[in-house]
Structure 1
Amino acid sequence: MMNFVLGTIAGAMMAAIATIAAVRNPDVQVRLGLVRPEVPVVAVRRPDPVCPPAPSVLAGAPVGHPDLLFAKRRFWSVAPK
């Protein structure tokens, strides 16, 4: 008899927790009529992105040199001199 009572209490607690978790879901709230459905807001046109102007000093300068990747200083910077 004690197992039946404990099982009933445990089942009721699980059902209560599942119900509370389900009602906290916005989709379930709308289906149950607890809240009004939100009207989706649609943007008519996206604004054009604003890009910063390119600096004129670096416009014609090269971006690096071929030895930049395999420079000895880069790999052996902690070696004693």
Structure 2
Amino acid sequence: MQKEYTKHQLALRNGQDRDEIWVAYLGVIYDVTKSRLWRKGNHYEHWAGQDLTEELKDAPHTDYVFDKFDVIGVLKK
């Protein structure tokens, strides 16, 4: 079973407040810390520490982009 994190706990992993850089997509939290595209806690107009499910609809790539990142846990409902 995956560990659950609240939206507040996710928000702290924004690359600014802590070293971890996490994002959520479809309720799953991914660690994007190692990605050079997320180095400063943002990727184009998207910010880490939040659920990017709705924002991915406008992205030039599919959700397969998350396959290369480690799953940290799930977003608590």
TM-score normalized with structure 1 length: 0.19
Structure ranking higher in strand proportion: 2
The structure with more radius of gyration: 1
Structure ranking higher in helix proportion: 1
TM-score normalized with structure 2 length: 0.20
